[in-house]
Amino acid sequence: MVRPMPPTTARPPSPDDLRELFLGAFEAAVPELEREDRIPARLLELTAAAGVHRLTVPPEHGGFGLGLVDFLPYLELAAMGPAPGRMICHLSNGIWRPLAGYGSPEQRRLIREQAEGRTTIAFALTERSGGTGRDLHSRAVAETGGWRLTGEKHLITFGDRADWFLLVAASDERRERDSLTAFLVPRDTPGFEIDAGQRTMGLHGTGHAWLRYREMRVEDRHRLGEVGQGLEVALSFLDYSRISLSACMVGLARRALQEAIAYSRRRITFGRPIAERDAIRAHLADMHADLEAGRGLVRTAAAAFDAGEEVTAAAATAKLFCLNMVGRVTDLALRVHGGFGYTTDAPIERIYRDARGFWFEEGTAEIQQLVIARHLLRAAEASEPDGTGAVP
Ligand SMILES: Cc1cc2nc3c(=O)[nH]c(=O)nc-3n(C[C@H](O)[C@H](O)[C@H](O)COP(=O)(O)OP(=O)(O)OC[C@H]3O[C@@H](n4cnc5c(N)ncnc54)[C@H](O)[C@@H]3O)c2cc1C
């Protein structure tokens, strides 16, 4: 039974309290999620009632105020279950951060609504027409009292049901860091076209959508942060989210290892369980070592985040390692399952597909490499201008 949390409690649910939700209720819904590609309303209600949306939200906005280190076990647990559970846990405990940092009092009121699961806010950055950051092609043109937004976004998680979209567009033509401006756009804005039919390889039930807008009028009160602060606003979500996603990758890798162990003990060939074969044992050991290494990097980055340190490089390092790690671990877990693992009767088949989504969510491996290398070279330059500086 999933235990609901009374809205006024000061104590967060423990990860154990949420085990039945993520590994029971969500797991039981897998056939429906795979078929319908949509979260059933009952799961949304259970998730909100259990207090998942407010785990890290500050108490003044109705949350439990957990730090990132304390939040990691929840993310791991959620990610051991089907994707929509971990996506809600990850997104709702991150998307409030740009609102808290840059929002007007009216926009900050949304934090409580989303902490209570009454409002969903999606993060809308990616475009088909260009790269992210300075290469965004969405345009925001100022006019009296507001803006005209023209452009498109795609792959927007929970675009199928979000009430608000944190949308970033270029507000001048210079293509500089301060050329972007963020907006919190209501779903029902006239001219906002939302096409929730974007089917993905895995992560079914996480509702990816195309957004299209042409000369769409947005009131100036829906601007999030100052004009030109859009990249900063987006990054205030991304540093957190790369660490949070890395914890999810550890969780999914744990699930894959669990499935591989269970299967290796069940599957008999030549009269013995394959778990008794050295080759299979080596795979299990490699998977374990790999995921524990990832977990260590996530903890380091999360501790630095909680200490208020600059974590862009640490978050990118955790994400780079963990996305490769979850790829290796799910590859091996599939191999341990033999051909059966390649059928839709085996949970590892879905886990394998879901793991591939991590390649792209909040930035690819190549972009993490770019961020890390830039950090290393800047640090070397700062300590020794001749380039012989120590590795940080
Ligand atoms: C499951 C899922 C959920 C997502 N959810 C969201 C969401 O909620 N909101 C949102 O805004 N986006 C979301 N995305 C989009 C995601 O952030 C992007 O797919 C990702 O950032 C990569 O961008 P792209 O797809 O445009 O790839 P591209 O930029 O087209 O990259 C293609 C390839 O070129 C490489 N590349 C591109 N530019 C460079 C460069 N400058 N240097 C070196 N290599 C480069 C990339 O690493 C990649 O290998 C989601 C994606 C997925 C798969």
Atom of ligand 1 nearest to the CA of 122: 8
Contact 230, 180 (CB under 8 A): yes
Is residue 288 pLDDT above 90, yes or no? yes
Rounded to the nearest angstrom, the distance between the alpha carbon of 37 and the centre of ligand 1 is 21
pLDDT of residue 5: 53
Which residue stretches of the chain are H helix? 19, 26-28, 30-36, 41-49, 68-80, 83-92, 96-102, 105-115, 230-266, 278-306, 312-336, 347-357, 365-383
Q: Exposed, middle or buried: residue 376 (CB in 10 Å: 0-12, 13-18, 19+)?
A: middle
Residue whose CA lies nearest to ligand 1 atom number 21: 363
Q: Give tens-digit pLDDT for 28-83.
A: 999 999 999 999 999 999 999 999 999 999 999 999 999 999 999 999 999 999 99
The sign of the CA dihedral 11, 12, 15, 20 is: positive
Q: What is the mean pLDDT of residues 277-306?
A: 98
pLDDT of residue 134: 81
In words, the CATH class of domain 16-93 is mainly alpha
| Alpha carbon distance 302, 305 (integer Å) | 5
Q: Give tens-digit pLDDT for 341-370.
A: 999 999 999 999 999 999 999 899 999 999
pLDDT of residue 133: 77
Please tell me the CATH code under which domain 232-383 is placed. Answer: 1.20.140.10
Atom of ligand 1 nearest to the CA of 131: 29
pLDDT tier for residue 392 given thresholds of 50, 70 and 90: low
Is residue 176 pLDDT above 90, yes or no? no
Domain boundaries, the chain: 16-93, 121-224, 232-383
Atom of ligand 1 nearest to the CA of 367: 47
Rounded to the nearest angstrom, the distance between the alpha carbon of 320 and the centre of ligand 1 is 14
The sign of the CA dihedral 63, 184, 103, 208 is: positive
Number of C-alpha atoms within 13 angstroms, CB side, residue 145? 2
| Alpha carbon distance 308, 114 (integer Å) | 24
Ligand 1 lining (C-beta closer than 6 Å): 122-126, 131, 155-157, 200, 203, 357, 360-364, 366-367, 370
pLDDT of residue 177: 85
Rounded to the nearest angstrom, the distance between the alpha carbon of 123 and the centre of ligand 1 is 14
Q: What is the mean pLDDT of residues 215-234?
A: 97
Closest listed residue to residue 220, CA positions, set 267, 184, 249, 244: 184
Q: Exposed, middle or buried: residue 387 (CB in 10 Å: 0-12, 13-18, 19+)?
A: exposed
Rounded to the nearest angstrom, the distance between the alpha carbon of 10 and the centre of ligand 1 is 39
Atom of ligand 1 nearest to the CA of 124: 11
Q: Give tens-digit pLDDT for 365-378.
A: 999 999 999 999 99
| Alpha carbon distance 83, 102 (integer Å) | 29
pLDDT of residue 94: 97
Helix 83-92, helix 41-49: angle, nearest 10: 50
- Whether this model's pTM surpasses 0.75: yes
pLDDT of residue 56: 97
The region of weakest confidence among 33-37, 146-150, 157-161, 387-391 is 387-391
Assigned CATH topology for domain 121-224: Butyryl-CoA Dehydrogenase, subunit A; domain 2 (2.40.110)
